[in-house]
Amino acid sequence: MSSLFPLYIQQFKTTFASMVQYRASLLIWMISHVLEPLVYLVVWSTVSNSQGGAVGDYSTRQFAGYFIMLMIVNNVSYTWIMYEFEYRIREGMLSFALLRPIHPIHSDIADNISSKAITFPLMLIIAVGLSLIFHPVLAPQLWAVLAAIPVLAMAFLIRFLLEWTLALVAFWTTRVGAINQTYFVLILFLSGQVAPLTLFPYPIQVVAAILPFRWMLGFPVELLLGRLTPIDALIGFGAQSAWLVISYVLMRVVWRAGTRVYSAVGA
């Protein structure tokens, strides 16, 4: 691990320099990550107001708290590797990474964490601004805030490993756009991104509890909103732990199989 520390430091410097140089791209990325939950917030707030101030177990102000917190949690757990890996393989860029003495995944992890370190303070400022406009209900208990630290770390690792594994499908096909879109639809509805999962029919809630998507987004949001008991938090952390092991093993298996069939192409 000590040999990886300089890599992570250097990657942070590289990412920071890149973001400073491409400020317009950073701005567009920030807008996209704010706009989506903001649209859901406005939609559900409108629906709630039209039905007397509540939908299910969420009031209008609780919807505001949910989607503002979702914006922050999504910033922590979001990754983009599944949109880039296809290009690396198709253009032969992965060959250079394979020649290095460390696993290519470490560079992607460092790049992702560096990006979050830069954008997270901006997200907090935006969240404060939205809170002044929508007056959300945000009253997490101290134990929930402390528990959220490892929960958010697990959410990021699960999402990163699963999406890194999904990106490896590019070893066998040069176009993975359809697969990525299918994944996007699943995470949109089964993670609590489009609406709190308690508003969905019970069978969908069961499916969401079995699959990993809820534990990437919905669970950390519910925890930070104070909607879970300590027992619920322990169960959720256990589910995260199980999916972390599954995603890690799956990544290792698919990576080994993929590198066996890989042949460099491109200019």
- The string of pLDDT tens digits covering residues 123-156 is 999 999 999 999 998 878 899 999 999 999 999 9
Crossing angle (nearest 10°) for helices 104-134 and 142-167: 130
Q: Of 140-144, 231-235, 261-265, give the lowest mean pLDDT range.
A: 261-265
115 pLDDT band (50/70/90 cuts)? confident
pLDDT at 264 over 60: no
Structural domain boundaries of the chain? 5-261
pTM: 0.89
Residues 43-50, mean pLDDT to the nearest whole number: 93
Residues 81-94, mean pLDDT to the nearest whole number: 79
